[in-house]
Amino acid sequence: MLIMIDSSKILADVLEMNVIDQENQLKLEGLNNEHVLKIINEFVVLCKPDKVTVITDSQKDIDYVRQRSIESGEEIKLDIEGHTIHYDGFVTMSDHDQARDKVNTKVLIPKGEYRPPAINTIDRAEGLEEILKLMENSMKGKECVIRFFCLGPKNSKFSKLALQLTDSFYLAHSEDLLYRKAYEVFKKLNGSKDFYYFIHTAGELASGKPVPKDLGKRRIYVDLKENRVLTCHNTYAGNSLGLKKLALRLAINQANNSDWLVEHYFILGVHPKGKNRVSYFTGAYPSACGKTSTAMLPGQTIVGDDIAYLRLWDDGYAHTVNIEQGVFGIIKDVNPHDDPLIFKTITTQRETIFSNVLIKEGSPCWIGDGRDIPASGINFSGEWSQGKCDKNGKEIPHAHPNARYTVRIEELANADENLHNPDGVPIHGIFYGGRDSDTMPPILESLNWEHGVYLGASIESETTSATLGAEGVIANQPMSNLDFIVVPLGKYLENHRKFGLSLKYPPKVFATNYFLKSKEGKYLNGMLDKLCWVLWAEGRTHGDYKAIETPEGFITKYGDLKKLFKENLKKYYSEYE
Q: Which of 217, 29, 240 is nearest to 137 (CA)?
A: 217
Eight-class DSSP state of 397? P
Distance CA 186, CA 289 (A): 39
Region of 208 (left: φ > 0; alpha: ψ -120 to 50; beta: rest) is left
Eight-class DSSP state of 545? -
How far are the Cα atoms of 313, 523, 567 from residue 577, in angstroms, in the given order? 44, 11, 21
Which residue intervals of 310-418 are DSSP H helices? Answer: 340-346
- At residue 231, the pLDDT reads 97
- Tell me whether residue 289 is one of the annotated catalytic residues: yes
Q: Are strands 228-232 and 219-223 parallel, antiparallel or unpaired?
A: antiparallel
- At residue 224, the pLDDT reads 97
Distance CA 470, CA 73 (A): 32
Instruction: Find the catalytic residue in 47, 144, 289, 532.
Output: 289
- At residue 150, the pLDDT reads 98
Q: Are strands 160-166 and 196-201 parallel, antiparallel or unpaired?
A: parallel
Eight-class DSSP state of 221? E
Q: What is the pLDDT along the chain (577 residues), one digit of tens a residue?
A: 567 899 999 999 999 999 999 999 999 999 999 999 999 999 999 999 999 999 999 999 999 999 999 999 999 999 999 999 999 999 988 889 898 898 999 999 999 999 988 899 999 999 999 999 999 999 999 999 999 999 999 999 999 999 999 999 999 999 999 999 999 999 999 999 999 999 999 999 998 899 999 999 999 999 999 999 999 999 999 889 999 999 999 999 999 999 999 999 999 999 999 999 999 999 999 877 888 889 999 999 999 999 999 999 999 999 999 999 999 999 999 999 888 899 999 999 999 999 999 999 999 999 999 999 999 999 999 999 999 999 999 999 999 999 999 999 999 999 999 999 999 999 999 999 988 788 889 999 999 999 999 999 998 765 555 555 555 566 788 999 998 999 999 999 999 999 999 999 999 999 999 888 888 989 988 888 999 999 999 999 999 999 999 999 999 999 999 999 999 999 999 877 5
Distance CA 358, CA 394 (A): 18
Q: Which of 12, 1, 4, 50 is nearest to 29 (CA)?
A: 4
Estimate to the nearest angstrom the gap between the alpha carbon of 402 and the chain centroid. Answer: 13
- At residue 575, the pLDDT reads 79
- At residue 86, the pLDDT reads 98
Phi, psi dihedrals of residue 440, rounded to the nearest 5°: -70, 140
Distance CA 163, CA 44 (A): 14
Distance CA 19, CA 48 (A): 9
Give residues with Cβ within 8 angstroms of 478, minimum separation 6. Answer: 456, 457, 458, 459, 485, 489, 492, 493
Distance CA 529, CA 532 (A): 6
DSSP E strands in 420-537: the ranges are: 425-434, 443-445, 460-462, 474-476, 508-513
- At residue 124, the pLDDT reads 98
